[in-house]
């Protein structure tokens, strides 16, 4: 809370990309923690109805400005209105790996121009705290598992991944040049799930690329069969292994990161956000079937180009420093995902 003319005001946070999948869940977590949320989004990969869901869950509709972060003067006007914000969570970016390979300049332009504009405007309006959405993709194919924040980064294997590696470097250089700014880089592993209410969740455009929405759409009979990419990896059951983190746990980590910076954490901090547990594709499929009782027809397909055989997080740094842990049981995550999918199908 900030005392302003004797009146208590909630601390305001600008959430770019706040209408999207992770941004809408984070807006819920922020509002439930007493923050005042303003969403900047151009709805290029989301629907404004996600904010209706946030309003139903929390009782408060975040203020919304339809703005393209890559358009400096439009973004400046939006920042001007909210120059009293104490922090920015920057989710706004394109995220489809294959699309980034096909159209790299679209990805560099959107993701990097957006970030650079945000940094320049935070400096101009003296907003000190940034949380940035990075990704486990920065680790490439790691030699040792689980990966810690000290694990060496590898050259990006896609323009999308490139925007995350470059984004982290741009932020480090900027905070180094302007020490009044602080940043937290959050490296997400594989976010899955939906709000337990089933009112907000992931809304993929067209045929999903990612495993979880493909599973739920197959279970809902929207897709005939799930293609499981590869069963001959050097992993315990031959299937690829990932660290699937509940999106509500991920959302809470953003609140923890903000509180950490607001209570004095400075410079640039980096945290892995995962469960610390690897699950294979088939373990996730079987987990979904047992959590929901709904079968998922699948067939084994060839390996997908560019897939890392196995990666999962050591997230103990976030536990020690942010006092945060991913603790939603997988069965709850999968049940919430299915509730959301059924709401969509209806």
- What residue ranges bind ligand UD1 (CB under 6 A)? 95, 97, 135, 137, 161, 190, 209-211, 214, 226-229, 240, 242, 281, 304, 306-307
Nearest residue relative to ligand UD1 (C-beta): 240
Q: Is 160 a catalytic residue?
A: yes
| Least Å from the CB of residue 13 to ligand NAD | 15
Our finding on whether 213 is near ligand NAD (CB under 6 A) is no
Residues 231-250 touching ligand NAD, rule: CB under 6 A, are none
Which range touches ligand NAD (CB under 6 A), out of 65-73, 215-223, 227-235, 290-298?
Answer: 65-73
Alpha-carbon Rg for the chain in angstroms: 20
What element of type H or E holds 40? strand 36-41
Residues 33, 49 contacting (CB under 8 angstroms): no
Candidates 21, 139, 160, 214; catalytic one:
160
Residues 248, 241 contacting (CB under 8 angstroms): no
Applying CB under 6 A, among 22, 57, 89, 326 the residue interacting with ligand NAD is 22
Applying CB under 6 A, among 11, 13, 15, 21 the residue interacting with ligand NAD is 21
d(CA 114, CA 78): 13
Residue 305, CA distances (Å) to 62, 130, 210, 290, 302 in order: 40, 34, 14, 30, 9
Applying CB under 6 A, among 14, 65, 69, 245 the residue interacting with ligand NAD is 69
The token pair at 147 is: 């990966």
Residues 332, 195 contacting (CB under 8 angstroms): no
Our finding on whether 201 is near ligand NAD (CB under 6 A) is no
- The candidate with the shortest Cα–Cα distance to 332, out of 222, 205, 247, is 247
The token pair at 104 is: 């790299």
d(CA 344, CA 346): 5
Residues 179-198 touching ligand NAD, rule: CB under 6 A, are 188, 191
| Interacting partner of 244 out of ligand UD1, ligand NAD, none (Cβ under 5 to 8 A depending on kind) | none
Site residues for ligand NAD per CB under 6 A: 16-17, 19-23, 41-46, 68-70, 91-95, 110, 114, 133, 135, 188, 191
* Residues assigned a catalytic role: 160
């Amino acid at each position: 809370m900030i005392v302003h003319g004797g009146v208590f005001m909630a601390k305001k946070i600008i959430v770019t990309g706040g209408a999207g999948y992770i941004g809408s869940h984070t807006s819920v977590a922020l509002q439930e923690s007493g923050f005042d949320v303003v969403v900047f989004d151009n709805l290029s990969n989301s629907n404004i109805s996600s904010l209706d869901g946030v309003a139903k869950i929390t009782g408060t509709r975040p203020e919304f400005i339809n703005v393209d972060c890559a358009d400096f003067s439009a973004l400046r006007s939006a920042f001007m209105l909210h120059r009293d914000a104490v922090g920015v969570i920057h989710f706004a970016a394109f995220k489809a790996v294959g699309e980034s390979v096909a159209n790299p300049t679209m990805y560099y332009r959107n993701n990097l121009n957006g970030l650079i504009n945000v940094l320049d405007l935070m400096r101009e309006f003296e907003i000190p705290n940034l949380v940035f959405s990075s990704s486990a993709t920065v680790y490439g194919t790691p030699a040792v598992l689980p990966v810690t924040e000290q694990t060496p980064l590898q050259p990006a294997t896609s323009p999308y991944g490139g925007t995350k590696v470059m984004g982290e470097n741009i932020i480090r250089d900027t905070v180094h040049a302007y020490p009044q700014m602080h940043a937290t880089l959050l490296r997400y592993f594989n976010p899955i799930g939906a709000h337990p209410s089933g009112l907000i969740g992931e809304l993929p455009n067209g045929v999903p690329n990612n495993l979880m929405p493909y599973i739920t759409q197959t279970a809902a009979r929207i897709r005939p069969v799930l293609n499981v990419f590869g069963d001959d990896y050097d992993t315990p059951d031959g299937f690829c292994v990932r660290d699937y983190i509940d999106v509500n746990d991920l959302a809470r980590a953003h609140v923890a990161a903000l509180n950490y910076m607001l209570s004095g954490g400075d410079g640039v901090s980096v945290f892995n956000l995962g469960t610390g547990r690897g699950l294979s594709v088939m373990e996730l499929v079987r987990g979904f079937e047992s959590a929901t009782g709904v079968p998922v027809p699948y067939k084994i397909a060839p390996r997908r180009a560019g897939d890392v055989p196995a990666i999962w997080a050591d997230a103990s740094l976030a536990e020690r420093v942010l006092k945060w842990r991913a603790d939603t049981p997988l069965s709850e995550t999968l049940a919430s995902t299915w509730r959301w999918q059924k709401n969509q199908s209806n």
